[in-house]
A and B are shown apart, each in its own frame.
Chain A
């Protein structure tokens, strides 16, 4: 049985005291791969930001395995999140992952720089280290951001639609890297995605958000053709709440 890192217990999430979703309960375990799926506006990103501590929960609680040591999150936002005006190389972007361990006013030690190169190599983009981040393709940017998240030495790797806007080949490569990292480094992976094929192939646990409902189970349980057909019927006829 893998160690539980985070437990969400009857969590309510939302903005400005307006709940988007309530009654969310699931756990993230070490070396586990969890996918959050759902339609646009269903609260996927809000849930991710609440887990990361960027938004306060409106109710319920998030408890971590260790009360004494802070869990470290490696966050991979969507690559479109960044302004191209910054003249940063892929290496400089990835190096930011180490900033949490370097005190203000101190230079970044060589060991951290070497580790950043290792992280870039782990996702297969070390040869792009000196290239300008803004000039990379979507898939390359996404892998640099995964390297940055790995450079934080995370307990949990959190990814917000890492394959959005990325071509099929690059999507496959990104997902393969994630799956391998999850197993090798024994970190928990939590990702938001619309890619059901990737979820079916890699995720051990699926959290499906639909309107105000939250469904948690394995990919085999939730992603059956019958249930998916029912779900998409509901999406196509939003007035009909149906029975799930």
Chain B
């Protein structure tokens, strides 16, 4: 309880880290819902990793060009990392979506290859980058320790924009996901709505990867949405439940990590995994219980 009191204190040293963690916990499942509905789980694995490769390349670029990145402020580093992340994420999602729409080849194979290539490339680039050892590798592993006010504001502003767009255009995004043919017949520009959805996914993934790393970002993108799908009865419940689960687990994970001195990102993912297993068993039990209750009445 003492740890909880410390975390909730406005003077808590790592308050920006916990704020960022919770904001991302609430936001990632909102786009994760679309990954689950469009059955793009593998893309949910590959994109954060590709995003982290974008960070690695962006951070290596100054070294290749002969600039000393250490002499610039952390805000410049973060902005550069964000540009790398969003560029790679958007490019990857658009290329992968285009190839999937063409219907040739093996989508799972492409995503798997993109994932392992991106992961390997990130490690290779950072191993050859002297700045990689002074924190960036930790950032990619999901250690949310030093989040500046600038990082927090950037994350909050970006994810507020994503949330507003998802709320405002929910019916269009749902229509093109559920029934693309009807959307075309109704005169909707399906390419525009697809690109908007990918842009929102790209922004969320980029911010999440920069703050909590690719592994944790993947966890928050998919596991809360999968858990919520077990219990929700409609789309609103699905979205709200997934977002609440992500936000609460982000807080719980941070609390446990702080209490037991674990890295935050992996702690979050383990908590999500354990809760998913419990939720799955509970959902099965509920389903069996409902079925047996109904059969008694027949």
A49 to B185, CA, bound (A): 10
Q: B169 contacts A87, CB within 8 Å?
A: no
Q: In the bound complex, do residue B187 and residue A75 qualify as a contact, i.e. CB atoms below 8 Å apart?
A: no
With A85-B37, A87-B237, A152-B186 given, is the CB distance from A75 to B181 under 8 Å? Answer: yes
Chain B positions 176-216 with a Cβ under 8 Å from a chain A Cβ: 177-179, 181-188
Interface assignment of B235: CB less than 8 Å from any CB of chain A: yes
The A-contacting residues of B in range 214-251, CB under 8 angstroms, are: 229, 232-235, 237-238
In the complex, are the beta carbons of A96 and B37 less than 8 A apart? no
A53 within 8 A of B: yes
- Any B CB within 8 A of the CB of A70: yes
Residue A108 lies at the interface, judged by CB distance under 8 Å to chain B:
yes
Residues of A in contact with B, size category? 20 to 34
A99: B residues at CB distance < 8 A = 171-172, 175, 183, 186, 188
Interfacial residues of chain A within 144-192, with CB under 8 A of chain B in the complex: 148, 152
Query: What residues on A are CB-neighbors of B274 within 8 Å?
Result: none
Q: Considering only CB atoms, which chain B residue lies closest to A108 in the complex?
A: B171
Interface flag for B39 (CB, 8 Å): yes
Residue A132 interfacial (CB < 8 Å): yes
A105 at the A/B interface (Cβ < 8 Å)?
A: yes
The contact of A87 among B177, B184, B188, B238, by CB within 8 Å, is B238
In the complex the two chains form, is B175's CB within 8 Å of A105's CB?
A: no
Chain A residues near B232: list those with CB within 8 A. Answer: 87
Interface residues in A51-91 by Cβ distance below 8 A to B read: 52-54, 70, 73, 75, 77, 81-83, 85-89
Q: Closest residue of chain A to B186, judged by CB? A: A100
Q: In chain B, residues 157-185, which have Cβ atoms closer than 8 Å to a Cβ of chain A?
A: 168-169, 171-172, 175, 177-179, 181-185
Residues of chain A within 8 A (CB-CB) of B229 are 85, 87
The answer to whether the Cβ of B252 comes within 8 Å of any Cβ in the partner chain is: no
The answer to whether B77 has its CB under 8 Å from any CB of chain A is no
Instruction: Decide yes or no whether B137 CB sits under 8 A from chain A.
Output: no
- Contact, CB under 8 Å: B186 / A83: no
The reply to whether B175 and A75 form a contact with Cβ atoms under 8 Å apart is no
Instruction: Given contact pairs A77-B179, A92-B235, enumerate 19 new A-B contacts (beta carbons under 8 Å).
Output: A54-B181, A75-B181, A75-B182, A83-B37, A85-B36, A85-B39, A85-B229, A87-B229, A87-B234, A87-B235, A87-B237, A88-B234, A92-B234, A96-B175, A99-B172, A100-B186, A100-B187, A104-B168, A105-B168
Using a CB–CB cutoff of 8 Å, the interface residues on chain A facing chain B are 49, 52-54, 70, 73, 75, 77, 81-83, 85-89, 92, 96, 99-100, 102, 104-105, 108, 132, 148, 152
Nearest 5 CB-CB pairings of A with B: A100-B186, A105-B168, A87-B238, A75-B185, A87-B234
